[in-house]
Amino acid sequence: MQAALPRMRQNGWGRIINIALVNGKRGDPGRAAYCSAKHGLIGLTRVAALETATDGITVNAICPGLIDTPFIQNQLAGWAAMHGLTTDEALDKIYLPLVPQKRMLDPGEVATMVRYLVSEEGRGITAQAINVSAGWIMH
């Protein structure tokens, strides 16, 4: 943001999207540093949005939940190995009980929100931390 904002201000237009994950809105045992960083990113998003509100720039954060990516698949494999489960059992027992829709997100669902926020139609949305979480986070 620090590198991009001067040019955006010069152009009178810009869109910044930070990815805070659901961890920016909740805590997880054993992940104090990670969750603190994500909470801080939401705070930074809101301050930057206020500081650029009259410059044609919007600044938002997206808070995705469980996305079906290689990273998450590796985490599931680790959890499965640690608990003597298959990866599907780990998903069903560890993660999906937290998700009302009982599913992982497709990366395209997050991309759709990003496309909207960077579009001209999204110009009225700034200083927000938007959940794309299949219901995992509701605030």
Backbone angles phi, psi at 23, to 5 degrees: -65, -10
The residues pairing with 105 across neighbouring beta strands, listed in sequence order, are 67
Distances (CA, A) of 36 to 29, 32, 42: 12, 6, 10
Chain segment 58-110, per-residue pLDDT in tens: 999 999 999 999 999 999 999 999 999 999 999 999 889 999 999 999 999 99
Pairwise pLDDT comparison (28 vs 19), residue with the higher score: 19
Task: Report the predicted TM-score, pTM, of the whole model to 2 decimal places.
Answer: 0.92
The domain segmentation of the chain, as residue ranges, is 1-66+105-139, 68-104
Of 3.40.50.720, 3.40.50.150, 3.40.50.300, 3.40.50.2300, which CATH number belongs to 1-66+105-139?
A: 3.40.50.720
Q: Which amino acid is at 47?
A: V
- Residues annotated as catalytic (active site), given as ranges: 34
Q: What is the model's pLDDT at position 28? A: 87
